[in-house]
Structure 1
Amino acid sequence: MPFKLKSAYILFLFFISIIVFVIVDHFLSNEIKLLTQDKYLHTSKNLNEQLQETIKNKTFATLNIALSLSENSGYKNFLKNKKVFDIDLKKVSLKLKEHSNFENVWIHLIDKNGISRYRSWSPKKDDNISAVRSELPALLKNPKVSSVISVGIFDMTFKSIVPIYDNGDFLGLIEVITKMNSIAKGFEKRGIDLVILVDKKFKNQIKKPFTKDFLDEYYVANVNAKKELKEIIKKDINEYITIKEYKIIKNYFVSLYTLKDFNNQNMAYFIMFKDINSINLNDIKEFEYFIKFIGILLVLTLITIFTTIYFYNKAKYTTTLEHDVKKRTKELNDLTKKYHQIFEGSKTIKLIIDPKTKNIIDVNNSATKFYGYSKEHFLKLKADDLNIVNKDVLNSFFEKILSNTQNIFIFKHKLSNGEIKDVEVYASPINIDTKTYIYSIIRDITEDLKAKKELEKKQKLFYQQAKMASMGEMLENIAHQWRQPLSTITTAASGAKIKKEFGELDDEFFYDSIDIIIRAANYLSHTIDDFRDFFKQSKKKEEFDLSNVLNNSIKLAHLKKTNIELFITCPHIKITGFKNELIQVLLNIFNNSKDALNNIKNAQKLIKIDIKEIDGFIFISILDNGGGIAEDKIDKIFEPYFTTKHKSQGTGIGLYMSEQIITKHFQGEINVQNENFSHNEKKHFGTKIKIKIPNKSNS
């Protein structure tokens, strides 16, 4: 029925709407501000943690280079014999630049008297630097490994000093110096620009600046610092080197990491610039849209309520109002009926629980069938009666559900007959009549867990079969490695016995024979340890050096005792995982390559191994010239019990288990391809196995 609202009533509704919008907008503005601040604080903390970890990794990497170079026999001979030094340290630095992330590496040799014997960055040498380097006299007197970040006459650098020994004799020191540029470049790849400023108290100390760049009295330590960012900082340097949490300027989010020296004094300032648009604020925007939507609904609800009241007070609209009420009532009844159909009729087990009292408020028919209780009895129970967990633990789970920090749980639930079932619970808070309840959807996973355990049991059996399948070859390797030391022991013992019988056994011959026997016995003992470690089952993840795993695998595969030439590129890379399982993978691949090479007539038999780390992933490539795999079989080699060998030579589970270990235990990838390649200007054809695994220790 058409009608006309009075002007006063319209103004009243307009006034109420304005008040609601003001309240919602005020609340929304404060909440958005707080959420955004939290997001930016988290971003700043994350940037600082990334930088701190990167500096730590660069320090360790510099130290590892120094430790590796300290074992070079050429350096030892030079410091020991003082002959002409035939190793160009500058070329070593360039190779490190070519094959690593280090842009500039300086190498310095110092003899035990503090004389600089060789510098990679300068032709200057044979000067006594112990008089000008305050830390050297103590290191020369008490040699030890030293690794620091310091400011010198050229730059702020990572500096690692390692003593060089020859058979216990101290010969001198090797010093490796790296710079900050690789850190800045690494962050630039992540979309973060760095400006590294050395504290102004070091200005007079940096006499020959590497970057030749200063902002007032502060030295810029990275050559790739953007001019635009330096101009921004230069306007007020003190403002940027004293940032407490973060700063927003133009389109940049700016954060600061302050590097301290050994006296806990400020050494340098890492000012980080990140595009403000790259910080994901979608969750905050969604919250904003949601609150605005609630505000609109609230206004519409108020308008509906006041309009209904207005019509209710108008006698001439009683019929219309009654009809409207009947219509609304019918809709509500229909909605209630639909709720019962969805809730009660669902085959999924559903419960509604009061989080304060732990009372079960409502259950559906599927719940009564699963648990074996009548609905009347069910509604007298509490959540504690179903869950076999400590009450405090259950309370903590309820807190996580109400705060939406966790919504999926695995519990053990007790049925009415006492049977225990494993269940997966999907729970979330819901509001009914202004009160908050927990709405739970429950799935019986008892059989799923049994199947999972059975699958794990079968996988463990597969792993053991894979090792047992290679047991024969391992025993052959053991026998092969034992023949020579056993022969040595027999010969030494027989010689001593004969000399004893003829009365010619003197002390010198006796002790020489005993030494020979002891060395051979120790070798046998080490061999036992190597093979025993291989057959141990890995039960937990550990951090290990990939180069050590590679060497052990080559040793177990007995590759160095064959006519196969090995070409290996493998830096020292730390990785976390199951060490013995990775050895098993490499051993399976080496044994396959060895078998393939034994079946060809090539004069030159090759295995090329290349291992590198790129963007947090380890890439392992193993290439042989064994003639490759038939194209109709290459797609099947990772299938269980498939083998290209004679049945007497292989079971076909080695590469299958290798694929299972890489994909499921290391979350990586493994694939195979045939490849033509050249080596020493000769063409070869063979099989390449490629493995890609994430380096979790750096993730």
Structure 2
Amino acid sequence: MHSSIKPIYIILLSIIIISAFISVNYFLSNKIEGLSENKYIEMSNSLKSQINEAIFNKKNSTFNVALTLSEDNNFKKFLENEKIPYSNLNVVSEKIKKYSNFKNLWIQLINKDGISKYRSWTNKKGDNIATIRKELPPLLKNPRVVSIISVGIFDITFKNIVPIYDGDKFLGLVEVITKMNSIAEEFKSKGIDLIILADKKYKNQIKKPFTKDFIGDYYVANLDAKSELKNLIKENINEFLTIKSYKLLDKYIVTTYVLKSLEDQNIGYCIIFKQKKEIDLSDIYEFDKFIKFIGILLALAVLAIFTSIHFYNKSKYATELEKNVKKRTQELNELTKKYHQIFEGSKAIKIIYDPTTLNIIDINAAASKFYGYKRTDFLKLKADDISMSTADNQRKEFLDILENKQNVFISKNILSSGEIKDVEIYASAIQIDKKTFVYSIIRDITDELKEKDEFNKKQKLFYQQAKMASMGEMLENIAHQWRQPLSTITTAASGAKIKKEFGDLDDDFFYDSVDLIVRAASYLSQTIDDFRDFFKQSKNKERFKLSTLLNTSIKLANIKNTDIEIVTLYEDCEILGYKNELIQVLLNFFSNAKDALNTARNTNKLIKIEIKKVDKNIIFSILDNAGGISESNIEKIFEPYFTTKHQAQGTGIGLYMSEQIITKHFDGEISVQNINYFYKNKEYSGANFKIKIPIVLNS
């Protein structure tokens, strides 16, 4: 009879194996939870970005249709005399549906008095819709292009409204309306499902629903919304509407994109579903498998040791011990083989280090190929042999990894050829044979950093060119402003000299001449201070008055000494930000306005500056009466090196740098549009540049 293993050994062995598995699982659960969280957040942001891009593209394509229709002569003739038959207008709508992707496209013609004269979806006409649609009266008074998302009696729609002109005569508006349903169709082809909902406050307004589908008080805007998904959100719809980042279900990752009105009010929601099985979690699974195999190896190693001790003490069971050792050895070899398949077969660069000695313990084939060393030579190296960091820095990094303070590093590594590569290192601690090692996965980011560096150099070059262009204009302005004072000084000095030579220089004339020279010299000195302050290199935010900013900009632009009338409307306040950069933006606007006005035929040249405080922001409006910017150029006006001036007059970087300064340095917005307006009972047209920045710049 074989003697049985003592119960105390079985209990001790079980405690050790269970503890090992608990430790490995605890480590894995924390690591994988963190890695998965990052993956899901990245996916949520990507889904929202795709929705935002799809809405932007939909608005642009609908706008292009509206813009084309605004030039249609049939539409113009119809608004002028209404003698064009409806059939002619309906043909346009049908052709668009037949020969384009717009299968649900509606057209409405509104005359200059706000009367609906034609609707492609109904014969109803003649009603004054300006009385019920609050966005129309301002557009009829001040015609301009508007692109919005709104909720009507049928559906959530994209509306693009474009003015119709016959020459300079305003005839009315053309409105092109498309549905949100096409966006859902587009995403369905990408394996992404949407539930598009109108906010519940519109339930009673949607009297003729396009889809006839509601979830509680919320109207469903896409026809093919899956019943399975609608049932999922039906039970607790508020929870889905208020998702900040993402929500995980059994089969889906879910996130929500909020549709906003022009007044920044919630008008609808895109609830986005993507199947979790389509998300690439291979790196996480690979890491999971690797650590589990290490745990199994450790457990089997412990089991083999205890088995060996037991049979060693029971020499009469030597044959049975030999069989068990062979069996366990075979299992270990198989597990080791699987470990090498996972470690060696991976295309990712992997290295295992001893954090105490800095020795390289193991590498995979990808690491050998990347660094250019044979395996035998590689394993003779230390961590600081392939890194630009010192040995002390390497030990500090390994300590941070072991204490779980930091797991991702950017470093410079040296290849066998001497070439230096920028790498991103993901590292964690692992246990092998009761000893702690550092397991690292390495990614080559050299090209990424080069592209980023080239972009930064290009940006610096743009800034330098813009500053040099400004400096040229400033020097010209200095020369212009100095001519009069210098002439005054010369005249006064010459007069005193002549009177002295003829013996006719009395004290009154002498002191008057000296006072005149002193005042002119003081003006010259003040001019130097103004221009010197502008060219000071300062990266620090400062507090300054709006009036100081405006007066300095107008003075540096030398507008007051021209035949251009300047009108300013603002309430003074204090701003925290980069004063000189904001002056540079205003100088670009003033310079462009001066150049445009100098080529215009207007006898009354005007620059109108209006500044308002809205909430925590300040909005600048700089308007001229030079006739505006051509429609073919207005979309490209902020592109680098784009200019409508002669090559000797413009570089095409002024407005580009203005856009960069406002968006990147002030976290603001910048735009331009052509408008018609009245000033002193006379109608003018011109370009209206607008910028919006925070009154207090925090970032």
TM-score, normalised with respect to structure 1: 0.48
TM-score, normalised with respect to structure 2: 0.48
